Amino acid sequence: MSILINKDTRLLVQGITGNEGLFHSQQMAAYGTNIVAGVTPGKGGEWVMDGKVPVFDSVKIAAEATGANTSVIFVPARFAADAIFEAADAGIELIVCITEGVPVKDMMRVRAYIDQLDTRLLGPNCPGILTPGVAKVGIIPGDIAIPGNVGAVSRSGTLTYEVLYALKQKGMGASTCVGIGGDPVNGTNFIDVLAMFEDDPATDKIVMLGEIGGTDEEKAAEFIATKMTKPVAAFIAGQTAPPGKRMGHAGAIIQSGSGKASDKIKALEKAGVRVAKHPEELPDLFG
């Protein structure tokens, strides 16, 4: 078992005819993901990937024709919000937005709408999801992880890759890896994913990768302390970042004295979480 994606995932790719969308669609299909459709307005009727994947003009038509239940979005930032709205209106159960640079005001409109529906949004500005040996939706390299019982959730894409590889080097595999993205407003947070891992029988322990900015890690610490029975190890990026300077993600900034790494680490340790000083130490924290 895994969370969010599995062998039954029927994936639709929004922006499949663009360079990035097509490249990563080929990578996802090679890994074993079942890509059933692509969507690019104005290119309906075309076929891509050696004639294996049909392209449709809209998500609604594509979903009705193929039974797609998951969408991944590779469109420019100015079109991303509309792409999310379109997928949600078509009844897609899981929407993964890879696009970086989506305006915060657009995401505020998206969240207000998505929260009324039975649809889960991951991202934007996230690497997606990987269930090792089964499927991947997004841009996480498939060869850096092996199947196992460690659930991983992260705000940082590159840190995710580093930690998955560190686990692999120790012979430790992942059940599912979820990149939630580092933007100030996104669709899925740490608590959402931690709750899924807590309920997942294939996950025995969890790695959580946070960073400076916001209070999501502190909220996650409270959830871990009061709701979780499985061990959690964590790493917080940006421990030397100066106040007022954004580090990497739009949400990774210390403002008005909040969002500091030290506060996050303190809250997590108080909740019984083992916090690594360096990401490569995480595999050893489970003992």
Instruction: Give the model's pLDDT for residue 260.
Output: 85
Cα Dmax for the chain? 57
Range from 19-23, 77-81, 242-246, 253-257 carrying the lowest mean pLDDT: 253-257
Q: Is the pLDDT of residue 256 over 80?
A: no
Q: Is the pLDDT of residue 218 over 90?
A: yes
Q: Which of 120, 205, 249, 264 is catalytic?
A: 249
Residues 6 or more apart whose CB falls under 8 angstroms from that of 135 comprise 5, 6, 7, 9, 28, 31, 32, 33, 34
Measured between alpha carbons, how far is 83 from 75 in angstroms, rounded to an integer?
8
Range from 109-113, 143-147, 258-262 carrying the lowest mean pLDDT: 258-262
pLDDT tens-digit series, residues 154-163: 998 888 999 9
Is residue 99 within 8 Å of 76, Cβ to Cβ?
A: yes
Q: What is the pTM of this model?
A: 0.94
Q: Tell me whether residue 278 is one of the annotated catalytic residues.
A: no
Instruction: Give the model's pLDDT for residue 264.
Output: 94
Q: Is the pLDDT of residue 265 over 60?
A: yes
Q: What is the pLDDT confidence band of residue 212, given thresholds at 50, 70 and 90? A: confident
Domains recognised in the chain with CATH numbers:
10-122 (3.40.50.720), 128-286 (3.40.50.261)
C-beta neighbour count of 219 within 10 angstroms? 14
Instruction: Give the model's pLDDT for residue 255.
Output: 52
